[in-house]
Structure 1
Amino acid sequence: MSAPAPLLRIENLSKLYPVKAGPFSRSRETVKAVQDFSLDIGRGEVIGLVGESGSGKTTLGRSILRLIEPTSGTVRFDGVDITKLGPREMREYRRRMQIIFQDPFGSLNPRFTAERIIGEAIDTHRLARNKGERQARIVDLLEKTGLSSSHLTRYPHEFSGGQRQRIGIARALAVGPQFIVADEPVSALDVSVQAQVLNLLQDLKRDLDLTMLMVAHDLGVVEYVSNRVVVMYLGRIMEVAPARKLYANPMHPYTRALLSAVPVPDPTKRRTRTILKGEIPSPIHPPSGCVFRTRCPLAIDECAKVVPPLEAVSEGHLKACIRT
């Protein structure tokens, strides 16, 4: 039997930003934020997307949703290339794809109550026949995300950070989406609250059969919520694997370095720390060949000449490295 078609198929997606070379210069250079990104996301799957700040994770997530327009490549949602759709045709797909933003305060209008913030999407897509149905739907969303009807009339500044993020999640769920991009949904929260929000997302994914792209810079955050993990560096994929395989047997030196920085809860077990030299290079002038080579402890001369292809190590496990 053939495998079921993925809900989302991303092929050779790139996003380039033109920028001026200097304040007094007429010449333009290009920020290569995402380069030739390809990935299939199955229905009901949670993909963890990890990498350092500046790796292009947020740009990728927003390009998939067309909150920013990709420079090239295709995004097929349920078989339809949404990069070719006009504003009217895209409207229906806006309902089916939503985003949870990183900043739980900046993403909420401070002049709107929780009821209006969540109800705005319901009104835009005309999902309620009357005010009673609208309010019942909003209360149901609040309760699903761990809040209650008593929060309807409160403003964002009257909530804690964790509660504000729950409102953001409720807003994303208001239109009944199939696919959600969770853009570092817990990075701005206290550690004690992070686990609560992650557990909430897991429960919602199970109950509503959601497909999700979980963006994070911390591998520890996505370890228990993701089916597969994609490791990204300077706009390119370094490694893709089922979560258990990646954590048990990372193949790319960048993945190993990221994993070595994850805290170990058992003080009797020590993990050898890999310290990467230097900082992430500028996406305006990325290194030739393998973009990770300038910081890689295994780099050889050939790494500067060859862009490593994403090759299979085992079933479902791929890496882009000519040395490992």
Structure 2
Amino acid sequence: MTKDLGTEQFPRARLLANRTPLERLDRLSEHFGLDLWIKRDDLTGLGGGGNKIRQLDYYMGAALAEGADTILITGAVQSNYVRSAAAAAARLGMQAILQLEDRVPGMDDTYRTSGNVLLSQILGAEHMFYPEGEDEAGADRALYARSEALRAEGRRPYVIPLGLDARPLGALGYVDAAREILNQGPEFDAIVVPSGSGVTHGGLLYGLRRLGAQVPVHGICVRRAAAAQSERLNIVTTKIAALLGQDNPVTPPDILTWDRALAPGYGRMGAQAREAMTLMARMEGLFLDPVYTAKTFAGVPGLLAEGRLRPGSRVLFVHTGGVPALFAYQNDIATA
């Protein structure tokens, strides 16, 4: 698989030392009547692992190229992204400023102090807060305002933006991951991946199509309904193409989204996610998180029941990590 993806033109921080394992889930394969595999992106290593390490590879590469000494980033209170950014900053000798949004109302003190929040504190990150959870443009403005104040103090800040207006540098990590998956083999009939910001889903889909692979990529919605998520994926893949100076290989029929496990909403664990989490743990000894991967894995039986996955087909579930968030939900899990 030697075709140029176009990502080589951008600097990287080399946060991911090795490719992550691809493993067959034997017991769950028998349970579902599938040939089910897992891509272990929970094992990217740095700071608790997860998919965000691939995304940060390019953002931190850009920050290093600019001589930055501080990075600023926005995420939810239990964001895996900001925890990973704090770890990357620590490794590279930078200060991390994490802006937390209150996206999940009604959560208890455990949610606000444990899990990713606790790990970020151990990593030495500074926290600031933004009061709205669905205002990407406003959150970015707050970060840029803080960035200007730091610059006036003689610091060299670098902002990792949240909104769709920005260059999707983070998506390049999953454009690259497409080649990694294809080189690991075997060939898959379908891939199931979380779809939140659209960066992981969009980058992987773009990379696969750029390399000529036509395998369906089912994005399981973890933040917004399927129709809105499909629109977002169209924007993300179009912006990836513009960033790389290429024609977009992704067509509207390529964008597949499923939202039947989204309820009761972002950051909330419904019955399907709980069942998926328990099933993975008790049949394969692997942990999923309530926000992303449990809902995504719930998509496997859901898509199978709807006929969107064929019995006996070879399916890849992309495990994007997020396990530290489990501890923030311990009261919900314990009382289930």
| Same fold (TM > 0.5) | no
Which TM-score bucket, shorter chain as reference?
Answer: under 0.3
TM-score by length of 1: 0.28
Work out which of the two has the higher radius of gyration on C-alpha atoms and give 1 or 2: 1
**When you count helix as a share of all residues, which structure comes out higher?**
2
